[in-house]
Amino acid sequence: MLTSCDISSLVIDSLCDQAGGQDVAVACFYFDFAAQKEQSPTSVLGVLLKQVVGGLDEVPGEIVRAYENQKKVIGGRGPRLSDIVGMLQTTTSKKRTFICIDALDECVAGHQAKLLGSLSQILQKSPGTRIFVTGRPHIEAEISKRLTGRVTSVSITPRRDDIISYLRARLDEDITPDAMDSSLEADILKKIPDDISEMCVWLPILGRIP
Amino acid sequence: MSQSFSNNINSLNTFNTFNAADHRPNILAWLSPLEPRLRHQDIQESRVEDIGEWLLQTEEFRSWCAGSGGDESDSAVLFCRGDPGAGKTYIR
């Protein structure tokens, strides 16, 4: 109902709306357990850079040169992580950049540390860059360790309004609308959010009872 | 002789400029094989409108968004912690 993907896509859309007309870049990546192999730090940071560069009128000379150099050796080599980080440091220093990373906990642990280390290097050169990350609560310690003193954390739990929006959307999709009347609909929109709010309050407490 | 030399230089220059712009898609593809745009579109389409809007109004989000790294209290990173399926288990 309210997933980290929903939150990420909402934030990305809102940043893109704000960016319209201004000189701002928005780059995003969604991690996925099912595709861990392809999601190395180099390709993930590479795709962030790709999105920033895609919004520029011209590919920066530094990147063209790196591309030409790598094409000459062993029939064309991919970019190196250190090159990508360097290029991101340069581009994000020149243009205000928002980086959004969804479900960081779905990234392989070793890769996660490398990725966070690289983000920290980018922030050192370009402290105005904004980084948005979602993930399960257990990765917060790792994020705080790698990006010391730069992290604010918010808990994502569905609010009453979220539950109502969700129920409204589901009721709209009802394929047997004849079975629904307005008083039943009103009852659902009142009763379920109340019950869920109570469950949200009580579940953690019940969980502590031995 | 000098005429043909300068012609050659001109055609070489044209070729080089053309080359860089022409290679743009190749250079972008070289940076990374990943394409997150489709995933974003999928999620965007399945998202219920207005859901999670409250986050955009929080003090944490607003100051993260407006910050420019100028002062020491600035947080460049905003971490939203939650279960990827948070809420899904409540209503199905």
Closest CA to A203 of A135, A139, A157: A157
Alpha carbon distance A152, B61 (integer Å) = 9
Edge to edge, what strands does the sheet with A151-155 contain?
A24-30, A96-102, A130-135, B77-81, A151-155
Q: Letter for the amino acid at A177?
A: P
User: pLDDT band for position B71 (50/70/90)?
Assistant: confident
A96-110, A177-191, B73-87, range with greatest mean pLDDT: A96-110
Per the domain annotation, does B13 fall within a domain? Answer: yes
Q: What are phi and psi of A134, to 5 degrees?
A: -120, 160
Q: Is the pLDDT of residue A37 over 90?
A: no
Please tell me the distance from the alpha carbon of residue A198 to that of residue A152, in angstroms, as a whole number: 28
Q: Give contacts of A 45-104 with B, CB under 8 A.
A: 45-47, 49-51, 53-54, 58-59, 63-64, 67, 70, 78-79, 84, 96, 103
CATH of A4-146, one of 3.30.479.30, 3.40.50.1000, 3.40.50.300, 1.20.140.10: 3.40.50.300
| B60 domain residue, yes or no | yes
Q: How far apart are CA B87 and CA A163, in angstroms?
A: 9
What is the ipTM for the molecules in this complex? Answer: 0.80
What's the rounded Cα separation, in Å, for the pair A157 and A200?
A: 9
Considering only residues A207 and B3, tell me which one the structure prediction assigns the higher pLDDT.
Answer: B3
Whether B81 sits inside 8 A of A153 (CB atoms) is yes
Q: Tell me the two tokens of residue A83.
A: 């090159």
Other beta carbons within 10 angstroms of residue A4's beta carbon come to: 27
Q: CA separation (Å) from A208 to A157, A202, A203, B92? A: 19, 10, 9, 26
Distance separating alpha carbons of residues B89 and A203, to the nearest angstrom: 13
Whether residue A127 lies within 8 A of chain B, CB to CB, comes out as: yes
Question: Does the beta-carbon distance from B81 to A134 stay under 8 Å?
Answer: yes
Are the C-beta atoms of A109 and A39 separated by less than 8 Å? Answer: no
B52, amino acid identity? G
With contacts defined as CB-CB under 8 Å, which chain A residues touch B88? 1, 3
Strand ranges inside A66-174, DSSP E = 96-102, 130-135, 151-155
What band does A38 get if pLDDT is binned at 50, 70 and 90? confident
Residue A127 pLDDT grade (very low, low, confident, very high; cuts 50, 70, 90): very high
Cα–Cα distances (Å) from A61 to A74, A112, B37, in that order, read 22, 30, 25
Q: Report DSSP state, residue A177.
A: G
Between A28 and A165, the more confident residue is A28
Residue B12 domain-assigned? yes
B25 touches chain A (CB under 8 A): no
Residues A143, A120: Cα–Cα separation, whole Å: 10
Beta strands in B1-92 (DSSP E): 77-81
φ and ψ at residue A99, rounded to 5 degrees: -115, 125
Diameter over CA atoms, chain B: 82
Q: What is the mean pLDDT of residues A193-201?
A: 60
Q: How far apart are CA B33 and CA B28, in angstroms?
A: 9
Identify which has the larger pLDDT, A66 or B89.
Answer: A66
Domain that holds residue B34: 2-66
- Please tell me which of A121-125, B43-47, B82-86 the model is most confident about, judged by mean pLDDT: A121-125
For chain B positions 41-80, those within 8 Å of chain A (CB to CB) are 43-44, 47-56, 58, 60-61, 63-65, 67-70, 74-80
Cβ neighbours of B75 (radius 10 Å):
19
The per-residue pLDDT for A160 is 76
Q: Inter-chain contact B55–A150, Cβ cutoff 8 Å?
A: no
Percent of chain A's residues with pLDDT above 70 = 90
Is pLDDT above 90 for A88?
A: yes
What's the domain count of chain B?
1
Question: What local confidence, expressed as pLDDT, does residue A140 receive?
Answer: 95
How far is C-alpha A178 from the chain's CA centre?
Answer: 40
- Name the helix (H) or strand (E) containing A26: strand A24-30
Pairwise pLDDT comparison (A98 vs B18), residue with the higher score? A98
Note if the pTM is more than 0.90.
Answer: no
Return the pLDDT at A203. 44
Of residues B13, B50, B20, the one with CA closest to residue A2: B50
Sorted by where each begins, the domain ranges of chain A are: 4-146, 160-208
